[in-house]
Amino acid sequence: MKREDSTRKSGRFSRASRVQKDASVLTANWYDSVGWEYDSIQWSRRHLISNALHARLDRLHLPRPQYSDATKWGVADEFSPYEGERVLKREAIVEVRTAIRKEERERREVVDFWLKTIGAVLTIGTGLTGALIGLISIWRHKAP
């Protein structure tokens, strides 16, 4: 039902724009009629991204940006369905993602180091075991 309503509105605005031959009228009319829906969708998207990043920060035991820092947080206005909620601003999202990538890279490097070490020890152990078996078989073959 809403979709039909917005489709009807967009058709009306499109006809009005063609009559006036001005695309800015179409843009302004569209934003006046359904712009709040667009803003709401954008805000909910930012809200989901912020929550996902918070979960990753918590899982990695990294600090969250300070809530008191206004340069990192955006607050929903009073007309939003998310009134009063805070979401990370774009710059803060970039910083948080960089910190997460750095921490995950460091953890992968530790795992990589241990895998290489264990692989080297197993390789050396296998080689020494094979050499020992060869020496024992030669020693037993000459002993009778």
- pLDDT above 50: residue 1: no
pLDDT 10s digits, 129-144: 999 999 998 888 875 5
- pLDDT above 80: residue 57: yes
Does the residue 138 lie in any domain?
no
pLDDT 10s digits, 87-101: 899 999 999 999 999
For 30, 110, 123, the CA distances from 38, given in Å and listed in that order, are 10, 44, 60
Answer whether 50's CB lies under 8 Å from 87's CB: yes
| Token pair belonging to 44 | 């909910």
* ∠ Cα 123 129 118 (to 5°): 25
Does the residue 123 lie in any domain?
no
Does the residue 118 lie in any domain?
no
Output the pLDDT for position 123.
96
Other Cβ atoms within 10 Å of 118 Cβ, number: 10
Does the residue 135 lie in any domain?
no
Whole-number percent of the chain with pLDDT over 70? 76
pLDDT 10s digits, 122-131: 999 999 999 9
* ∠ Cα 78 80 83 (to 5°): 55
One-letter amino acid of 85:
E
**Nearest one of 82, 99, 78, 6 to 42, comparing CA atoms:** 82
| Domains contained in the chain, number | 1
Does the residue 66 lie in any domain?
yes
Give the pTM. Answer: 0.63
Does the residue 24 lie in any domain?
yes
Whole domain around residue 40: which residue ranges?
Answer: 2-105
Does the residue 65 lie in any domain?
yes
**Nearest one of 58, 71, 51 to 103, comparing CA atoms:** 58
Does the residue 42 lie in any domain?
yes
